[in-house]
């Protein structure tokens, strides 16, 4: 999605992809550009960089890529990525002649000659950046230069990376000797617009840091370890690839994967399955089936409403009473996107916690006949931790620390208050309502659930709830374990809070939660996309590292260091969903063996999604507000922007570009008239149902550019100021809690009115020298708007020479990257009173499409209308004739 908050991401990203990579070619024996060499599922560092920039909302017209070596292949890869993402092509700087002899500084200097002056982050195509690092980089704003840095990640880095000393956020010293300093540079340098001249005049053989080493105002943006990994040789690629060894694969198959249990299984009782009265659950072994059958009988006897009725056990199969509905996990995922439904979430979680209390009391009372063994720390935690370390090239934690932890865990699990492990994750809890079961169509579920979310809280206080999957009760655990499983699952989104738990319980549950998902993602990506497509393993790792106490860190430094490394290295895979090109080690290992996905048991199906985006898109494009059809490009653009607002719970943002002045020939100009009132009323009426549906509300930005009217239309700036002042006050009357209007001067994004004027004049001259001719539409518009006779030029003003010249000047202004980025290529959905690309064509009021700043508002037979000047003259004549 090409969506951005312009204030949040104001800087250009310049990616250098011109280097020949001689060391990489020598080490690999390949001529392929190293930024295209696959790191994960056939994606190289350049594509991964673009993937993150795209997902973070950096607009493509604020990304520039300087080409050189293998430029045709690199450009083809970029075009393919753009087509797949339905994005727009970033700016590409063509390869220079004799590029192979150019230094990095010469490549940078040449790239900047193609670009307007602007704050710039210089990144490298052959560096693997994490998504979180790029987010910090894009968020950085300053008038002083900066370098990204990170703690020394590994001994290998100290042999080749430049070191720096950073104190209180400032770089105090650059250290050309590799391996020294408090931090290493992280291959990202920020140049404010005011300092780009340093690059232009720099000697060809200097590095960026050498230009900055004499300054005392260089900021150090400190990132986590492994946030940026430079690729010099094929060994670097190998270190970035997941290390899926036979040991890792065996562990995954034996302890993490559950898909093989249904291979070639044929359920009995076909008739019962066909009429949905029962379903078959396949257990890993007959022992596991007997264990769950015993617990289900106990619950059916003492808490019959808490679990499905056991009908029969047949070896590894359990025939259970069907309870159709929606997983608590699926519902919580949807509730977490809106603050409107927090009360529903609270009611359901309170009920589930009370049910967990009931189950734990029952299981505790009968635990001597249910469970004898502690939850297996060595198998489930030690081996998992070692497997993840092996996969990610991290040193394994000291065995003596793990042995100590295993002993303490066993002691805790054998205490008097221990309980059989229920595994109370929200994925194992069903809200029973047949209207919500996945066998219904998506549209039916959406419709029903939308209505139920409007139901009174009493509905959710009484909807039946059923717990599933009691195989894990074979093992004893701490009472806090299931509390954490239920309340600490990341499905709660921003509302996730760590349930009270000791260090060992937190380690066991969160490493298991995050570790299993992470191994799935790297070993069995097809399984990950089926089971965990809405889960982010990194969230569990980061929460675990933050949640462990100081005493744990001091007593088990080796384990904690491994966990910290895992949390930091796993960030490399954050935000990157496995694609069809992903190497699936599990499936490959099972070729020739019976492998099948799980049967579509309702607690294992892909989570259902409320189609909020479609609902909102229908509101955005509804008639009669929309005056002409929207093409597929516009619809996709709207979907991306709505998805951004929904995902991050931000207001839906609209932009309405307008002239920012009142036509001088309009009576009483530059004062407002009824046209502006009708216009604002209409816009508010248009967004009201959208604001009601989307809790964060709606923002409407009326965008214009100051200081350029005399250059374009021959209208002095003095004519614009009173109009803007009055309109700024007027729009406040149309704002409310969920609807906010604001005026936005695009000149502010260009450094102010003077800078905007200067940039416009340069842009206009460049278009003129290139022989650019304005469109017929622009000429017709200029003929209506340009003023040669009604205003007196201000001193130093530069009037257009004629209508065609005025049209070219207007097109120069409208093609400003900053203007286009704000109005349509950023996070705003553009509304326009004329047909246009990537914009919704709407009226200016119910009866008109005349632009209000060149119109006059009247009541025509009690209906509001906005008339053009010619229409108004005819209207007055008609009114006089009627009289």
Total-model pTM? 0.65
> Per mean pLDDT, which range of 2-16, 73-87, 665-679 is the poorest?
2-16
Q: For 258-273, what is each residue's pLDDT tens digit? A: 655 544 444 444 344 5
Higher pLDDT, 777 or 842: 842
Q: For 397-431, what is each residue's pLDDT tens digit? A: 999 999 999 999 999 999 999 999 999 999 899 99
For residues 494-510, average pLDDT: 78
Higher pLDDT, 445 or 504: 504
Q: Are 549 and 505 in contact (CB under 8 A)?
A: no
The pLDDT, as a whole number, for residue 440 is: 55
The pLDDT, as a whole number, for residue 164 is: 92
- Among the ranges 146-160, 237-251, 492-506, which has the highest mean pLDDT value? 237-251
In the chain, what percentage of residues exceed pLDDT 90?
42
The pLDDT, as a whole number, for residue 525 is: 81
For residues 307-326, average pLDDT: 88
The pLDDT, as a whole number, for residue 601 is: 32
What tokens does 456 get?
């009174």
The pLDDT, as a whole number, for residue 801 is: 61
User: At 663, phi and psi to the nearest 5?
Assistant: -55, 130
The pLDDT, as a whole number, for residue 259 is: 57
The pLDDT, as a whole number, for residue 165 is: 93
The pLDDT, as a whole number, for residue 770 is: 77
Q: For 119-165, what is each residue's pLDDT tens digit? A: 999 999 999 999 999 999 999 988 999 999 999 876 555 567 788 99
User: At 854, phi and psi to the nearest 5?
Assistant: -120, 20
The pLDDT, as a whole number, for residue 591 is: 54
Nearest to 763 by CA among 813, 819, 708, 711: 813
The pLDDT, as a whole number, for residue 335 is: 79
For residues 830-843, average pLDDT: 88
Tell me the longest C-alpha to C-alpha distance in the chain: 102
CA dihedral 558, 564, 565, 568 (to 10 degrees): 180
> Per mean pLDDT, which range of 378-387, 481-490, 572-581, 665-674 is the poorest?
572-581
The pLDDT, as a whole number, for residue 450 is: 82
Looking at the predicted structure, is the pLDDT value of residue 865 above 70? yes
Rounded CA separation 559/511 (Å): 12
The pLDDT, as a whole number, for residue 794 is: 45
Instruction: Give the Å distances, CA to CA, from 685 to 98, 688, 726, 835, 866.
Output: 60, 5, 22, 21, 16
Looking at the predicted structure, is the pLDDT value of residue 228 above 90? yes
Please provide the DSSP assignment of 114-147 as one string: TS----EEEEETTEEE-HHHHHHHHH---SS-EE
The pLDDT, as a whole number, for residue 681 is: 95
CA dihedral 444, 494, 606, 44 (to 10 degrees): 130
Nearest to 467 by CA among 364, 370, 358, 375: 358
- Percent of residues in the chain assigned helix, strand, coil, to nearest 5: 50, 15, 35
Contacts of 766 (CB under 8 A, 6+ apart): none
> Per mean pLDDT, which range of 110-119, 409-418, 556-565, 766-775 is the poorest?
766-775
The pLDDT, as a whole number, for residue 442 is: 54
pLDDT interval class at 530 (50, 70, 90): low
Instruction: Give the Å distances, CA to CA, from 638 to 216, 392, 634, 644.
Output: 45, 39, 6, 10
The DSSP output letter for 70 is B
Higher pLDDT, 283 or 806: 283
**Is the C-alpha dihedral spanning 243, 246, 247, 248 positive or negative?**
positive
b/e code 480-511 from CB counts within 10 Å (16+ = b): bbbbbbbbbbbbbeeeeeebebebbbbbbbbb
Mean pLDDT of the chain: 83
The pLDDT, as a whole number, for residue 559 is: 96
Looking at the predicted structure, is the pLDDT value of residue 792 above 50? no
For residues 598-606, average pLDDT: 32
> Per mean pLDDT, which range of 375-384, 729-738, 813-822 is the poorest?
813-822
> Per mean pLDDT, which range of 127-131, 658-662, 729-733, 762-766 is the poorest?
762-766
The pLDDT, as a whole number, for residue 39 is: 87
Pairing state between β 170-175 and 163-167:
antiparallel
The count of other CB atoms within 10 Å of the CB of residue 432 is 17
Nearest to 24 by CA among 232, 163, 197, 212: 232
For residues 610-614, average pLDDT: 61
Q: For 430-461, what is each residue's pLDDT tens digit? A: 999 888 775 555 556 677 888 888 889 999 99
For residues 345-349, average pLDDT: 92
pLDDT interval class at 883 (50, 70, 90): low
Q: Are 15 and 54 in contact (CB under 8 A)?
A: no
Q: For 614-653, what is each residue's pLDDT tens digit? A: 788 899 999 999 999 888 778 877 876 886 677 657 789 9
Pairing state between β 12-17 and 120-124:
parallel
Higher pLDDT, 596 or 848: 848
Q: Where are the beta strands (DSSP E) in 595-697?
A: 652-657
């Amino acid at each position: 999605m090409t969506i951005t908050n312009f204030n949040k991401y104001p800087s250009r990203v310049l990616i250098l992809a011109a280097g020949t990579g001689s060391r990489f070619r020598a080490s690999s024996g390949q001529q392929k550009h190293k930024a295209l060499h696959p790191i994960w599922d056939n994606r190289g560092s350049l594509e991964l960089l673009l993937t993150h920039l795209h997902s973070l909302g950096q607009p493509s017209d604020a990304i520039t890529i300087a080409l050189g070596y293998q430029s045709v292949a690199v450009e083809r890869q970029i075009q393919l990525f753009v087509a797949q993402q339905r994005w727009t092509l970033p700016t590409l700087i063509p390869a220079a002649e004799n590029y192979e002899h150019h230094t990095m500084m010469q490549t940078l200097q040449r790239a900047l000659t193609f670009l307007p002056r602007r704050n710039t982050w210089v990144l490298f195509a052959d560096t693997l950046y994490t998504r979180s690092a790029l987010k910090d980089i894009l968020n950085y704003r300053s008038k002083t230069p900066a370098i990204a840095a990170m703690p020394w990640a590994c001994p290998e880095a100290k042999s080749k990376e430049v070191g720096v000393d950073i104190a209180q956020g400032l770089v105090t010293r650059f250290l050309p000797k590799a391996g020294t300093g408090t931090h290493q540079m992280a291959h990202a340098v920020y140049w404010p617009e005011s300092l780009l001249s340093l690059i232009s005049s720099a000697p060809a053989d200097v590095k960026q840091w050498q230009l900055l080493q004499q300054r005392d105002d260089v900021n150090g943006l400190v990132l986590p370890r492994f946030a940026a990994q430079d690729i010099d040789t094929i060994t670097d690629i190998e270190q970035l690839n997941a290390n899926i060894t036979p040991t890792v694969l065996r562990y995954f198959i034996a302890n993490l994967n559950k898909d093989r249990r249904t291979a070639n299984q044929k359920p009995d009782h076909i008739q019962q399955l066909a009429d949905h009265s029962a379903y078959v659950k396949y257990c890993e072994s007959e022992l596991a089936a007997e264990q769950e059958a015993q617990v289900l009988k106990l619950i059916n006897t003492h808490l019959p409403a808490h679990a499905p009725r056991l009908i029969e056990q047949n070896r590894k199969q359990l025939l259970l009473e069907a309870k159709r509905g929606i997983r608590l996990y699926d519902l919580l995922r949807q509730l977490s996107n809106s603050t409107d439904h927090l009360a529903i979430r609270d009611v359901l979680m309170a009920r589930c916690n009370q049910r967990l209390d009931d189950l734990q009391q029952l299981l505790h009372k009968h635990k001597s006949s249910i469970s004898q063994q502690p939850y297996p720390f060595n198998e489930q935690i030690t081996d998992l931790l070692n497997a993840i370390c092996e996969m990610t090239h991290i040193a394994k934690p000291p065995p003596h620390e793990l042995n100590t932890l295993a002993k303490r865990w066993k002691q805790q699990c054998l205490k008097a208050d221990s309980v059989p492990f229920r595994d109370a994750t929200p994925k194992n809890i069903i809200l029973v309502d047949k209207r919500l079961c996945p066998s219904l169509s998506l549209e039916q579920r959406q419709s029903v659930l939308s209505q139920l979310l409007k139901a009174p809280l009493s509905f959710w206080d009484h909807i039946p709830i059923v717990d599933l999957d009691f195989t894990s009760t074979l093992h004893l655990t701490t009472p806090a374990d299931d509390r954490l499983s239920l309340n600490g699952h990341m499905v709660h989104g921003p509302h996730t809070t760590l349930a009270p738990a000791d260090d060992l319980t937190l380690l066991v549950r969160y490493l298991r939660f995050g570790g299993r998902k992470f191994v799935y993602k790297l070993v069995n990506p097809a399984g990950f996309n089926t089971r965990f497509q809405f889960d982010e393993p990194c969230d569990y790792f980061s929460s675990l590292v933050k949640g462990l106490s100081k005493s744990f860190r001091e007593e088990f430094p080796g384990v904690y260091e491994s966990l910290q490394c895992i949390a930091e290295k796993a960030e490399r895979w954050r935000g990157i969903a496995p694609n069809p090109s992903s190497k699936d080690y599990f499936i490959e290992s099972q070729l020739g063996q019976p492998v099948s996905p799980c049967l579509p048991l309702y607690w294992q199906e892909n989570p259902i999604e409320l189609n909020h985006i479609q609902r909102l898109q229908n509101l955005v494009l509804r008639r009669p507000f929309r005056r002409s059809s929207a093409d597929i490009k516009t619809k996709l653009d709207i979907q991306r922007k709505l998805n951004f607002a929904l995902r991050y719970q931000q207001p839906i943002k609209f932009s309405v570009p307008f002239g920012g002045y009142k036509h001088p020939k309009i009576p009483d100009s530059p004062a407002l008239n009824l046209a502006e009132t009708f216009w604002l009323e209409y816009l508010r009426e248009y967004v009201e149902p959208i604001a009601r549906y989307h809790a964060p509300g709606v923002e409407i930005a009326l965008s214009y550019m100051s200081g350029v009217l005399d250059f374009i239309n021959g209208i002095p700036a003095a004519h614009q100021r009173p109009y803007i002042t009055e309109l700024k006050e007027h729009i406040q009357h149309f704002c409310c809690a969920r609807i906010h209007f604001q005026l936005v001067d695009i000149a502010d994004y260009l450094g102010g009115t003077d800078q905007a004027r200067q940039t416009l004049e340069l842009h206009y001259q460049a278009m003129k020298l290139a022989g650019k001719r304005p469109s017929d539409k622009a000429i017709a518009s200029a003929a209506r708007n340009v003023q040669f006779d009604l205003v007196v030029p201000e001193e130093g003003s530069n009037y257009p020479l004629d209508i065609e010249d005025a049209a070219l000047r207007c097109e120069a202004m409208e093609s400003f990257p900053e203007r286009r980025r704000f109005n349509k290529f950023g996070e705003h959905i553009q509304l326009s009173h004329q047909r246009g690309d990537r914009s919704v064509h709407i009226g200016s009021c119910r009866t008109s499409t005349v632009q209000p700043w060149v119109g006059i508002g009247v009541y025509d037979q009690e209906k509001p209308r906005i008339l053009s000047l010619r229409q108004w003259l005819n209207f007055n004549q008609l009114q006089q004739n009627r009289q």
